Structures are given as C-alpha cells and as structure tokens.
Structure 1
C-alpha cells in the first residue's frame, strides 16, 4: 500500500546486499537448521504509522505457527520459528531488516510486510537471495507483477487494490444507488491512488459521474476546505480510499460540516481504528471493503482462539496474517523441503487452502489469490457484514 521505491532506497539496498545469493550456512539439505528448527522471517510494521496493521498481522501469523508446532510441526516434526523484525513502517528500515533476516538469521522464507511501500523496498532483496515471501495485505497489483513481469518470489494472501476499488464502486452503484460520487485521495499513496482509479473506472462504466476529486497528503489534519468544495457538488456518496489516521478525521470533519451522505473506503480504514479517531457518533452511514467479516459464523473458532491468546478481538489483518502463515506452512509441507525453489513452486500450485479469510487458490501467472471481498458497515455500535462481492 503506499509510495514508490526510490533511488535512495536503491542506494541503501546496494550497501546491504554484500553477501552472495542463497541462504546457505547452518542448514541441512532440506533447508532446516541443524537444530531441527525451520527459521521463517516475520518482517512486520511493529512500530510507526502502520503499526496497527503490522501488529495484527504478526499476531495472526504467530497463532498459526503456534498451532502448527503444537500439532507436530512440519517435515517430520521440525518446529517453525518465526524470527521477528520491525521495519518501523519505513522502506529503508524494511530493506535493512530483510537483508539481516536473510544473511544473518538465515531464514528460509518470509512473512510480511503489510503495506505496499515497505514491501516494494524489499522485492530486490528477496529476489536476489531467492527467498519466497507471502505478504498478508500488500494489495498493490504491481507488487507481484511489475510492468508485465512476474516477481517470482512474491506472493500474497489478499486480493488487490483494483478489486477493492471495483467492490466499492459496485456497492455504491448497485446497493446505495448512487449516481454522483466524490473521491478524496492521498496523493502520496499508491494504495489510495490504485483504489481511487479502480473506483472511478468502475463507477463511470456503471453510468455514474465523478463530480469532485480532492487531494491530501498523509499527515494532514484539516480537511474542511476540501470537504467544503465536495459539499458544494452535492454528491450521493464520498469514496475515501486512505488509511485510518486521516480517514477518521475526514469522516469526523465531514459530519461536523453536516455532510450526511454515505462514505466508504477500503481495508485501510481498519474499522475500529477509524471509529476511535472519528468518534462513534459520527459513524452513521459509513462502509468499507475488507477481507473478512468478523461476525461471519465460520470465523467463530478463529476469533475465540485469537481472543484467548491476545486478549483482544481479531481484525481482518489478523486473519490475513494467519492465512499468510498457513500458505507458507502448506507450501513447505507440499514441497517436502524448505528448498526455496520447491517452496516457490508449491506456492504457485496452491489450490483450495481453507483459510479463515476464505478458500485460497493462487493464480500462478500473477501470484494473487482468487477470493471474495466483504463490505462492512457501522451499526449498533460495531462493524457488521453488509454485503459480499465475488471475483468475476
């Protein structure tokens, strides 16, 4: 989600990639350490602006690995050890930590990061060292296919930005019966721009009209001027495909300006976090697309297990972290080895994995999973299921 890989990051990368390709050293023929542990890197946003996503994803991954180890581990009883690293929600730190995990910790695979900007920064690292990686929630389409070229070592547990934008526009047109829409975009965010473009394309194709497009930059606090201009255009719906820090303020300030039309966005809203910032009394008539609805009856057992371990309710990002770990575990089992190429091939061929966010089948041509999305709305003091949209 966010920001393009920069020349500065390339410079950092060139300094960090000083070892040769591969992850040899202290490993057996199947990639496990001589102690019987299988080291997997967990590179997440534990601090910084995206810490809410990173902590949830990490916790979900840890739960899945703990359960697998308790059930006998993998490859004849070997235990998986998740080596945690904090990328601090920053691309440069993400690059440095990815290099450390591979060259010093000798991890054989990686989980995370959660956001587009931190994942983009490490694609050259995992590609050079040939280490398979599954991101729980990196939704930018270019993460797995860049300029028509497949990034062979990158996989994801989530659907992509284009699909989320399509879901939002379809919901706005078909369910909310909106004819006119306004869009509020974080100009520095690949995530926001990707969702916004897909929303606009789908909404216009459905016969709708975009009456206003307003921009902001992550970190902004005052949105009254752009909201005033939007109000003057009298839209039927406002699409805000950003992250909760700004989205919460946008929702709050819109309602304070007596803008009562539906507002919706993507998974960056992270439900409860947007609610905390906006205030529950301002959350009437708001919706966002997510990977899972936590009130889905099929998630009762997962929610119970997560609550017992962390003493908190899981989010969609928790579920995605859990499923990303399950994907990697299944690939190692299918490969019968932690040999990177065999695990990569197993990930490409993964079909019908029962995840908590739905059945997961990987498209070998794009490394994207085929799965449905849900739309949630705030009702009776909590986020609840509103609609489900399946891929076409």
Structure 2
C-alpha cells in the first residue's frame, strides 16, 4: 500500500473513531454528557458507573448474562470487534455548558454519537447541537415531554416521558380510591422551576380536573436553591393531604429536611423520580426517607419476573457496592441500545447509525427494564416503555403499583415524624 493511500485510509478511520495499526486497538468513540460536578455530581457518579459497566460488558463480556445484547465479549462483531470508548463530558447541570460540551465532543473528540444528559434542560440544548451537526443523540433518562415534540431527525429517547408518568400518578390515585377508599381531599405540588418541573406542573394542572382532583396550591422553586423555608411554609399553610413533588437530588434531600424542621408532613408525598430515586436520598436521610412514594421505571423486586434484572444488578453491585436505581438502570440501557444500533449499522457513519436506531426493535426480555421493549416512533420516542410506582420502606424501594405487579401493600398515610422508630 502506498504511503499516500495509507495516510488517506488512516484519516478516514480516525474520522470514524477507529484506530489504524497492528498495535492499535480499534475504538468506537461515544460521547457521554452528564453532571459530574456541581449539584448533580452524586447522581452523575452513579450514571458514569452504569455507563462503564455497560461498556465493559460489550468490550470484555459477561457470560453470566447471555440474554443481554452484545454480552459475548468480543466488542462490536459487525465492526470486526471494535471496542466502545466512552468520552466523558461534564455539563454541571448547566444548559449552556451542555451545549458547548456537545460541540466539543463532536468537533474535537470526533465521537460518532452522543448519549445523555439526565437534566432535561441540558438535554434540550445539547441535542440541538447534535441535530445541527447530524450526529445521533440518544437520551436515556430526561423525561420532559417536549423533547420529542421538536421534529428532530437525530434525537432518540428510550425512557417514557412525563406525560405518561404524570398520567401514571393520577391513575394510581384513581385506583387507590377504587380499591382502598383512599382519596386526598387537598392536593398541593412542589416542583423545581426548570424545564422538567415546569412541564410537570402544566401536566398536573391539565390532568387534575380530569381525575376529579383539585390542586389547591402549586409552589415552584429554583433547582439550585440552598433553602426551602418559605416554600415549605406556603405548603404547610395549605394543609394538603398529598404533595406531588418534582426535585433533583440536592433539593429533594433539602425539602425533606425542611419538612421535618418545620413540623410539616402530609399524608403522602408522591414524587416524580429524579432525586427521590438517587442512592444519596436514602443514604443521607435514613428513616426520614421512608414511606415516600415515587414513580419509577425500575425496581430490584421485579427480578422475580425478569431474571436479567438481578443478574446485571449483581454485576453492578459487586463492582460499585450499590444497586441500580431508576436513573442508572436507564442510563445503562441507553448505552446498550446505542451500541446495539452501531453494531447493526456495521458502520460509524452518522446516517447509518441513525437508520439503525430508527429500525430498533429490542424485546423486553433483552432489557433490565420492566418494559415491553424498545421501539422508536417517528418522533424518536420509545413507544414500549412504561412506569411503575415504588414506596421506600426500611430504606428499600418496593413496587406498589401497578397493583398486579406490587410486591407489598401501600402504606398510607405516612407515619408522622415522632411516630417513626
């Protein structure tokens, strides 16, 4: 091979994220955007661990979980065993930083695809950069419904979105009344004021009348706040039986501490995932975290119905000494779906990867999620995802809804602060 031809070939392979040379390891570079410092650092660390486990399974194998796609451990077989290389970027939960980091990953790191970014507001800006550049962007966790309402060609989301999740919450309340005669007389909400919390508030406002519920008070706050005293005092004055809450980790923890300090506790807190499912929530609050009900997409007690859940969680726990959460399990799944698409594409060309994502049809028995599978509609939304509700009891998350999947009965109302052992 002439030197000029070698140079051209090396340039092509490098642009595709694949190294050349007998000693060089073939690589497929995937950019991953998450909050690794700042207020979301704790959850970001767990998401990073989930990504690293997924990449390790793809690159080096996991013979104990043969049902998991690409677990044979030979890299990506349709790319001659090329290994996944994760290129991490820290968006610090800042939408502008997320956009600039997405651009850096695409233009400087030459990644073939992007996965991220947990915070809906960051996913919105980062995916705009990917859309303009014509680079596939897969979002495993952000739930703002509007993200798949932008007519984007390059954006795909595996998680269900808030329209479904808020419906789930109200369906649960409807069935709770029908089956157990429990109906909250006064409902209030406490939501962060970013894209996710704002859209959730709008959905709650829209759906409450349809379910014959009145939200007497809606309180919003800045997600990076360091105090919630006035907001909790406003809630306490409304005297609700039920608080619907959407908070990230730091503010979820802060809210519970403030509730206790001010002697406020409704009959129930029905949370919208995020901070309430982060490992740090239970670790920091201990018994004070108990009895909260949160919407979820994953629960370890569902392993009795899907052995893959326990098999992969055991790998995660043995390495990091923690269990998956609804956040980290979705991130793991997102990277597995992206890697599967790149492998099926047999190419690192953006359009080939995009077409493979469009054609994705992964059955539920190949996932660690309690979903029917992964299949994207024309908007890039997975149509086969579904939500569950879990309740924290003795520091563990127990599935309580849908009732036919429940591992234990709902405890309602929550015991008051001075009644807890």
Shorter chain as denominator, the TM-score bin is 0.7 to 0.9
| Distance in structure 2 (CA, Å) of the matches to 1:34 and 1:284 | 50
Alignment of 1:138-153 (within 5 A): 138-146=142-150, 150-153=151-154
The alpha carbon displacement at 1:274 in A equals 2.9
The alpha carbon displacement at 1:257 in A equals 1.7
Deviates more, 1:244-253 or 1:338-347: 244-253
Q: Name the structure 2 match of 1:19.
A: none
Q: Name the structure 2 match of 1:76.
A: 80
Q: Over residues 243-292 of structure 1, what are the superposed CA-to-partner deviations in whole Å (9 max), with x where a residue is unaligned? A: 12222222333344242410111121243333345x33333431111111
Give the counterpart of 2:129 among 121, 125, 130: 125
Contact 2:239 2:266 in 1 (8 A): no
| Distance in structure 1 (CA, Å) of the matches to 2:386 and 2:154 | 24
| Distance in structure 2 (CA, Å) of the matches to 1:184 and 1:64 | 35
Give the counterpart of 2:53 among 58, 63, 78: 63
| Distance in structure 2 (CA, Å) of the matches to 1:33 and 1:197 | 46
Q: Name the structure 1 match of 2:165.
A: 164
| Distance in structure 2 (CA, Å) of the matches to 1:114 and 1:224 | 27
Q: Over residues 121-180 of structure 1, what are the superposed CA-to-partner deviations in whole Å (9 max), with x where a residue is unaligned? A: 22232112211011221211222322xxx1111112211122222222222333253343
Alignment of 1:288-307 (within 5 A): 288-297=294-303, 298=306, 299-307=309-317
Q: Over residues 173-193 of structure 1, what are the superposed CA-to-partner deviations in whole Å (9 max), with x where a residue is unaligned? A: 332533431111223x11112
Pair 169,252 (structure 1): closer, same or farther in 2 beyond 3 Å = farther
Query: Which structure: greater helix fraction?
Result: 2
Q: Name the structure 2 match of 1:13.
A: none
| Distance in structure 2 (CA, Å) of the matches to 1:25 and 1:324 | 30
Are 1:235 and 2:240 an aligned pair? yes
| Distance in structure 2 (CA, Å) of the matches to 1:232 and 1:135 | 39
Are 1:374 and 2:388 an aligned pair? yes
Give the counterpart of 1:343 among 353, 369, 378: 353
Pair 93,30 (structure 1): closer, same or farther in 2 beyond 3 Å = closer
| Distance in structure 2 (CA, Å) of the matches to 1:42 and 1:222 | 31
TM-score, normalised to structure 2, is 0.79
Are 1:356 and 2:368 an aligned pair? yes
Pair 61,68 (structure 1): closer, same or farther in 2 beyond 3 Å = same
The alpha carbon displacement at 1:32 in A equals 4.7
Larger radius of gyration between Structure 1 and Structure 2: 2
Runs of 5+ unmatched residues, structure 1: 1-23
| Distance in structure 2 (CA, Å) of the matches to 1:251 and 1:77 | 49
- Superposition RMSD on alpha carbons, in Å? 2.4
Deviates more, 1:328-337 or 1:217-226: 217-226
Give the counterpart of 1:207 among 185, 208, 212: 212
Contact 2:190 2:218 in 1 (8 A): yes
The alpha carbon displacement at 1:386 in A equals 1.5
Contact 1:326 1:355 in 2 (8 A): no
Aligned partner of residue 182 in structure 1, secondary structure: strand
Query: Which structure: greater strand fraction?
Result: 1
Pair 66,222 (structure 1): closer, same or farther in 2 beyond 3 Å = closer
Q: Name the structure 1 match of 2:187.
A: 181
| Distance in structure 2 (CA, Å) of the matches to 1:300 and 1:310 | 15
Alignment of 1:101-140 (within 5 A): 101-140=105-144
Aligned partner of residue 50 in structure 1, secondary structure: helix
Give the counterpart of 1:322 among 313, 332, 340: 332
Runs of 5+ unmatched residues, structure 2: 1-8, 21-25, 61-72, 177-181, 405-421
| Distance in structure 2 (CA, Å) of the matches to 1:106 and 1:229 | 50
